[in-house]
Amino acid sequence: MESAYITHNFSPVFDRNSRILMLGTMPSPKSRETGFYYGHPRNRFWKVVSDVCKEPLPTTREEKIAFLLSRHIAVWDVLAGCDICGADDSSIRNPKANDLEVILASAHIRAIFTTGTKAHQLYRKYCLPKTGIDAQLLPSTSPANCRISYEELKSAYSAILEHL
């Protein structure tokens, strides 16, 4: 598969009451197809976060947005664009970071979490110098990260609760 320059094509989810910011790397092809974050049917993000928050699993885009805002969770991605092969984060070249000030200037963010190693590395390199806020690394919920069990994910993602 050849790499292509991909531009992030949907807005962050947040409001002025958002307390935590959860950042992925870049929307996968399936997420771009569905037009929303963590759109692959086997991605465990929505199940994990809703279980951690003791809420019903949101299934539609509208339910996911309502869930995030009601729990004071902002979601976006570290990158606004990059060259990438499919969904392979290790293939990322020419990254361009999102301007997180869009969220940080209007929301009371208490903590930033990155959902995967590549998101964390890119955040530290391109965003941390501007935000001055260190991010906590959470394991990726991607179907490619099958070595992490659901229970391990749930345990790791429970860290968000102290900031909500």
Q: What is the rounded distance in angstroms from the CA atom of residue 118 to the CA atom of residue 147?
A: 16
Q: What is the CATH number that goes with domain 4-163?
A: 3.40.470.10
Q: DSSP code of 53?
A: T
pTM over 0.85: yes
Is residue 143 within 8 Å of residue 87, measured between CB atoms? no
pLDDT digits (tens, 9 = 90+) for 81-93: 999 988 888 889 9
What are 117-135's pLDDT values in tens digits?
999 999 999 999 999 999 9
- The number of angstroms, rounded, from the C-alpha of 18 to the middle of its chain's C-alpha atoms is 14
